[in-house]
């Protein structure tokens, strides 16, 4: 039913409008659903109810965390949140590529700002693992990036189970330049000074060369990070069967192979300790198995959720939970 509605209705309207309407439906409809039970995962000192989480970008403003958890996500990463509220890039800025099971977005960190999101998180009464993803405000010059990230961290850390520094979105000018180790180190150190022992991760782009991935891994070890989120969207259009002239970050199935490779490279360098959250092109049970085998401890998805519908996270979580139970027997 969902596939028919998506193909014949959702694809006829603007993608961002469809997202807004669909998210509203999730927040209302999920109230009637029982919580999905799955095998838990312990990582970063946190007990995650399940291995599959929702990647940042879907719930930018922390308005539907509990509804999304009821659909079967073991954790929800909200954001990306910036220190200053910002409208993002002009619309249209979200595009579906159904033949490739992919999405192109150039949203530009549209969000209500760290103060507003912090107030919203403070009002939550339900429990559940919540990560917060923070990025640099577009109006903030690179010379003031450290303080910008510190402001967001200071406001949001009290309400997060873990925090992610995002320096890898292609939709904020100059942001990816901050992945260079000499620029990233002071940001991570500044954020760490604000959040104490809260688990801190960095989210990297799939477009980094392997040597740069290794450099980030070495920095993560040197700074004592809890882990790495691998990966963000890609600016590459390699492997697309559906031609698009739209700029922005590509997510979904075409990202799978590179995200898998980055996960493997990271795990070989990081060793067994730090957590890797694998994200990018995960849609099927085999995708999930492959990413875990490559070294991921936890998984995240976004694009597959859009294409497969609200029952998809529960189906995948249940299957992974059953397989893990059988392995442990």
Enumerate the known binding-site residues. Answer: 56-60, 80, 105-109, 133, 166, 171, 203, 231-233, 252, 281, 302-303
SS3 225: coil
H and E: helices and strands count for the chain: 11, 13
Specify whether the CB–CB gap between 259 and 287 falls below 8 A.
Answer: no
Token couple for 68: 């999304």
Distance CA 107, CA 90 (A): 8
SS3 33: coil
- Token look-up 């067994």 returns 272
Q: Return binding residues for FMN.
A: 56-60, 80, 133, 166, 203, 231, 252, 281, 302-303
Specify whether the CB–CB gap between 236 and 207 falls below 8 A.
Answer: yes
Q: Return binding residues for substrate.
A: 60, 105-109, 166, 171, 232-233
| Active site (annotated) includes residue 169 | yes
Token couple for 215: 């450099």
**Which residues, at least 6 apart from 194, have a Cβ–Cβ distance to it below 8 Å?**
150, 153, 154, 157
Single out the catalytic residue among 137, 152, 168, 169.
Answer: 169
Beta strands in the chain (DSSP E): 41-43, 46-48, 52-54, 75-82, 94-97, 102-105, 129-135, 162-166, 200-204, 227-230, 249-252, 275-279, 298-301
**Which residues, at least 6 apart from 255, have a Cβ–Cβ distance to it below 8 Å?**
102, 206, 231, 233, 234, 280, 281
Q: Any idea of the CA torsion for 155, 301, 66, 132, to the nearest 10 degrees?
A: -10
Within a 13 Å sphere around the CA of 148, how many CA atoms are in the beta-carbon half?
Answer: 23
Distance CA 142, CA 183 (A): 9
Identify any residues that bridge with 105 across adjacent strands, giving them in sequence order. Answer: 94, 249
**Which residues, at least 6 apart from 81, have a Cβ–Cβ distance to it below 8 Å?**
60, 61, 111, 113, 114, 117, 132, 133, 134, 135, 152, 156
Enzyme catalytic residues? 169
């Amino acid at each position: 039913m969902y596939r028919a509605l998506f193909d014949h209705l959702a694809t006829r309207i603007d993608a961002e409008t469809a997202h807004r309407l669909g998210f509203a439906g999730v927040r209302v409809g999920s109230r009637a659903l029982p919580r999905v039970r799955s095998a838990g995962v312990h990582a970063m000192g946190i007990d995650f109810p399940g291995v599959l989480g929702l990647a940042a970008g879907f719930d930018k403003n922390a308005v539907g965390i509990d509804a999304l958890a009821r659909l079967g996500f073991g954790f929800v990463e909200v954001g990306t949140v910036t220190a200053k509220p910002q409208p993002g890039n002009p619309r249209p800025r979200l595009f579906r590529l159904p033949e490739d099971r992919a999405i192109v977005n150039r949203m530009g960190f549209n969000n209500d700002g760290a103060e507003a999101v912090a107030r919203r998180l403070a009002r939550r009464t339900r429990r559940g693992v919540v990560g917060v993803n923070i990025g640099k405000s577009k109006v903030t010059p690179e010379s003031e990036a450290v303080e910008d990230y510190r402001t967001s961290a200071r406001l949001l850390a009290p309400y997060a189970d873990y925090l992610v520094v995002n320096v890898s979105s292609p939709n904020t000018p100059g942001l990816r330049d901050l992945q260079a180790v000499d620029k990233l180190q002071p940001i991570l150190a500044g954020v760490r000074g604000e959040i104490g022992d809260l688990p801190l991760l960095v989210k990297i782009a799939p477009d980094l060369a392997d040597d740069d991935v290794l450099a980030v891994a070495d920095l993560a070890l040197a700074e004592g990070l809890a882990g790495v989120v691998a990966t963000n969207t890609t600016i590459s259009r390699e492997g697309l069967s559906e031609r698009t002239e739209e700029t922005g970050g590509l997510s979904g199935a075409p990202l799978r192979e590179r995200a898998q490779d980055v996960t493997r490279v990271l795990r070989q360098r990081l060793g067994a300790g730090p957590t890797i959250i694998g994200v990018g092109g995960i849609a099927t049970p085999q995708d999930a198995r492959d990413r875990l085998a490559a070294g991921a401890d936890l998984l995240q998805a976004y694009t597959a959720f859009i294409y497969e519908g609200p029952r998809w996270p529960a189906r995948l979580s249940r299957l992974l939970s059953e397989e893990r139970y059988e392995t442990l027997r």
